[in-house]
């Protein structure tokens, strides 16, 4: 079974869970209402989910003038990946993390936290953004944002059932389980939705790691970044993600702390396994000959220029120069 087929089946399963909650709360009538709502949410998510998620996190759009180094990294990676230039955003958050969103490559956006830009090296940031662009290239972003929307709606509907219970059985096809149905929906539906989110995210994360390593040409850049993100994120809370746990699977690393019940069901693969796979890629392929020049699949030598300049070439027009700022703290716009 291909990963895309598996993801489609899992997404259909998540929609089915939403409809099942509707049935438990309102019988046949609730099932029909939930079905109509699921269709409406999918359509809404297709057109608006990207902007909605960015708004949740207070993301601020930047360009080659307001954040030249970071914007330049994304621009060069997008060119290497053969993708249109996505919109670039920065989130004011100390936890190092990042995500991509948008319905297709032509309407994509990538976002990184200030914590990631301040704590990671330029090479590690490039590895992270290559991973996010891999999600864009694979068209994972639409699936993952729709998943977040439906999973959030499942939890909301289940909580409604906990407070108000299911409708009683009547001639109009009410829920035969009554209050029991509401309690079952409140307990089981969020768990089932989270399990489906886990399966979808884990299916796509390994593939994004692999393709992201190919885009940047250096698997070890991404491996180092994941290690540093994991070590830092465990000690730095992400309060925005805690308030919107259904969006946790969008991030490159689980943003939820141990204080959240949602963190008991991690939506991400084991970080150690991800890093090990990337190290193995680097060992097998010699980091694809590491190139940003000529030769090899990606061309060039792994040896960085002696003058300390980035192997990515000149900064974009409008930049004040440099791959990343020397003080490692900005300017981030």
How does DSSP assign 266-296, residue by residue?
-SS--HHHHHHHHHHHHHHHTGGGG-SSSSS
Q: What per-residue confidence (pLDDT) applies to 264?
A: 45
pLDDT of residue 270: 86
Neighbours of 279 (CB within 10 A): 14
Residue 162 near residue 183, CB atoms below 8 Å:
yes
Q: What three-state secondary structure class fits 199? A: helix
CB atoms within 10 A of CB 318: 12
Give the C-alpha separation, 19 to 39, whole Å: 11
E strands present in the chain: 60-62, 87-91, 98-101, 109-113
Query: Rounded CA gap, 82 and 133, in Å?
Result: 10
Contact yes or no for 83/29 (Cβ under 8 A): no
Q: Please give the pLDDT value at position 251.
A: 92
Beta carbons within 10 angstroms of residue 51's beta carbon: 16
* Residue 221 · residue 161 · CB < 8 Å: no
pLDDT score, position 160: 64
pLDDT for position 171: 45
- pLDDT for 120: 96
Show pLDDT as tens, one digit a residue, over the chain (333 residues). Answer: 455 565 567 667 777 777 777 777 777 777 777 777 777 776 766 676 678 889 999 999 999 999 999 999 999 999 999 999 999 999 999 999 999 998 889 999 999 999 999 999 999 999 999 999 999 998 887 777 677 667 666 767 666 655 555 554 444 445 555 566 566 666 666 666 666 666 666 668 899 999 999 999 999 999 999 999 998 887 899 999 888 877 888 899 989 875 444 444 456 788 999 999 999 999 987 655 444 333 333 333 333 333 333 434 444 444 433 334 334 444 334
Rounded CA-CA distance 324/321 in Å is 8
- Determine which one of 132, 171, 207, 273 is catalytic: 132
| Catalytic site includes residue 205 | no
Domain boundaries, the chain: 3-290
The whole-number pLDDT of residue 126 equals 97
pLDDT of 298 reads 31
Angle at 298 between CA 293 and CA 300, to 5 degrees: 30
Cα separation values, 52 from 108, 136, 156, 244, Å? 13, 17, 17, 12
d(CA 252, CA 230) in angstroms, rounded, equals: 10
State the pLDDT at residue 152: 67
Per the confidence metrics, is the pTM higher than 0.85? no
């Amino acid at each position: 079974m291909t990963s895309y087929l598996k993801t489609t089946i899992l997404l259909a399963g998540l929609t089915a869970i939403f409809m099942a909650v509707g049935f438990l709360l309102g019988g046949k009538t609730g099932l029909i209402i939930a079905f109509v709502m699921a269709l409406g949410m999918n359509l809404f998510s297709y057109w608006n989910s990207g902007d909605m998620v960015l708004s949740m996190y207070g993301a601020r759009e930047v360009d080659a003038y307001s954040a030249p180094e970071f914007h330049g990294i994304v621009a060069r990676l997008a060119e290497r990946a053969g993708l249109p230039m996505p919109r670039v955003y920065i989130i004011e958050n100390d936890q190092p993390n990042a995500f991509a969103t948008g319905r297709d490559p032509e309407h994509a956006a990538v976002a990184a936290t200030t914590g990631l830009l301040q704590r990671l090296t330029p090479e590690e940031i490039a590895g992270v953004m290559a991973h996010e662009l891999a999600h864009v290239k694979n068209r994972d972003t639409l699936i993952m944002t729709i998943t977040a929307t439906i999973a959030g709606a499942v939890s909301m509907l289940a909580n409604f059932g906990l407070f108000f219970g299911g409708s009683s059985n009547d001639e109009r096809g009410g829920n035969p389980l009554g209050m029991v149905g509401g309690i079952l929906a409140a307990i089981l539906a969020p768990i089932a939705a989270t399990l489906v989110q886990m399966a979808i995210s884990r299916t796509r994360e390994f593939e994004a790691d692999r393709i992201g390593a190919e885009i940047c040409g250096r698997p070890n850049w991404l491996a180092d970044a994941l290690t540093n993100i994991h070590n830092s994120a465990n000690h730095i809370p992400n309060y925005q993600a805690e308030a919107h746990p259904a969006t946790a699977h969008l991030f490159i690393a689980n943003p939820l702390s141990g204080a959240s019940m949602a963190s008991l069901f991690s939506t991400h693969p084991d970080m150690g396994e991800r890093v090990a796979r990337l190290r193995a890629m680097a060992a097998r392929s010699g980091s694809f000959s590491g190139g940003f020049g000529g030769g090899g699949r990606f061309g060039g030598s792994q040896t960085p220029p002696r003058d300390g300049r980035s192997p990515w070439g000149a900064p974009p027009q409008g930049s004040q120069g440099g791959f990343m700022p020397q003080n490692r703290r900005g300017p981030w716009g």
